[in-house]
Amino acid sequence: MKGLLRKGIHLEGDILAKLNVVHIRLVGLGIDPHLGEILRDRKNGWRLQGRRHGLYDIHILRHNGAVDNEREGTPMKCRIVELSLATPLLTSLLLTTLLTWSKPVIGQESPVLSLESHISLPNVKGRIDHLSVDVKGERLFVAAVENHTVEVINLKSGQRVHTITDLAEPQGVFYEAATNRLFVACGLDGVVKVFDGTTFQGLTTVKFPDDADNIRYDARSKSVIVGYAGAKQLRKREEGTGGLGFLDSKGKRLADVVIDAHPESFRLEETGTRLFVNVPEKKEIEVVDVAQRAVLARWPVSTAENNFPMALDEAHHRLFVGGWVPPRLLIFDTEAGKEVASVEIAGKTDDLFYDSERRRIYVLTNVGVLEAFEQKDPDHYAGVARYPTPVGTQTGLFVPEWGKLFAAVRKQGEQDAEIRVYQAH
């Protein structure tokens, strides 16, 4: 029974026991959101203390039946997103009761997004990083970082049609339509590989110091920009500058801009000449002049740490940044160079997107929730929809030409990895 997160529900541990709940899946919303599936403790029952707004404090966590002693006695806030009962009758009765108690705030369908299809990716294991699209050819390119592959999907048929193998942790991927070339940035060896977009034959490689990551395209100069190297806690690099490398369409290295540490997500203005880049190790956003290839400013990020994903609303001069600790969506005024608003999000995110046509922000979080926020005006934002996703679904791609959001779902037990396709309304 999925999508049973409701406001106003009060299910305490003894009630769960009476309902003969045999399985519960929780999503953390506290400081440590790393919660997986928690099985019923048949000896002690559920140790849950319910709250009226649907939050729960977990006093003993059990991962696959084993007691997590480190967390014993430490309350953690969670939301129930799935319940499995012993019989279909109990499931039906509980669902009926819940629907009469409150209106849903999380669901699979709403006027905001609808889940259109699933595209299976058999034999793809581990974390999936970033995506790119061939709009004219209707193809999607998926960087399966821990599988060491790039998966090529034909969106007309909804099938994978090719796999590029033997890549050293592919993180960033970009398809350049004008030249029919595919650029793949690899984190383990710092190499960017350039492939023919039809045959997928390797054409050239560009070596950066290490950790080649996000890729963007500057349409004015027709250059591909790659973030690389620099201090990054997740890679256990304590110090060192990073950079943005500028390549031409053939892969020739044109120039570099030094960044204070590892550059995470970055966005370019289309009408201006600035580029905004997240530098989480320095708790800042660096502003780069693409024409001069120089850093113009550094904006502090103080409301949340680990500012990884980014999206841009150039028309309203707003920059959207996802922070991990605490999980928040930060909004910066790109004219004033300061934060003007922030809203809470469900968990940490590696990708978020601005839908300019509908004035919405879509946030993919690792705790099993896809969130949509409405831009009331440039300084005010409100959550309008939440959708359940498998835990760890935190990367994807929004394609404004189609109004489609692609969410990358990693392999879950016996369930294959997949791409979920959502249509915006």
pLDDT digits (tens, 9 = 90+) for 7-51: 333 343 434 444 444 444 443 333 233 333 333 333 333 333 333
Residue 410 burial (CB count, 10 A): 23
Which pLDDT belongs to residue 111?
Answer: 81
As beta bridge partners, residue 348 has: none
Quick: pLDDT tens for 94-126: 433 333 333 334 544 458 999 999 999 999 999
Residues 6+ apart with CB under 8 A from 5: 54, 79, 80, 81, 104, 105, 106, 386, 388
By percentage, how much of the chain surpasses pLDDT 70? 72
pLDDT higher at 152 or 90:
152
Residue 18 or residue 157, greater confidence: 157
The pLDDT value recorded for residue 3 is 36
The reported pTM is: 0.77
How much is the pLDDT for 211? 95
Domain of residue 34, residue span: 13-101
Number of domains in the chain: 1
Write the DSSP string, 139-193.
Answer: EEEEEEGGGTEEEEEETTTTEEEEEE---SSEEEEEEETTTTEEEEEETTT-EEE
pLDDT tens-place string over residues 314-360: 999 999 999 999 999 999 999 999 999 999 999 999 999 999 999 99
- DSSP 8-state assignment for residue 58: E
CA torsion, ordered 410, 236, 276, 355, to nearest 10 deg: 10
Average pLDDT, rounded, for the chain: 81
Asked if the structure places residue 52 within a domain, the reply is: yes
Determine the pLDDT at residue 238: 67
Residue 231 belongs to a domain:
no
Q: Is residue 31 a part of any domain in this protein?
A: yes
pLDDT score for 231: 67
Identity of the residue numbered 119: I
Judge whether residue 247 has pLDDT over 80: yes
Q: For residue 99, report the phi and psi dihedrals to the nearest 5 degrees.
A: -65, -30
Q: Is residue 283 part of a domain?
A: no
The fraction of the chain above a pLDDT of 90, given in percent, is 71
Based on C-alpha coordinates, what's the Rg of the chain?
A: 22
Q: Is residue 268 part of a domain?
A: no
Q: What is the mean pLDDT of the segment spanning 163-179?
A: 97
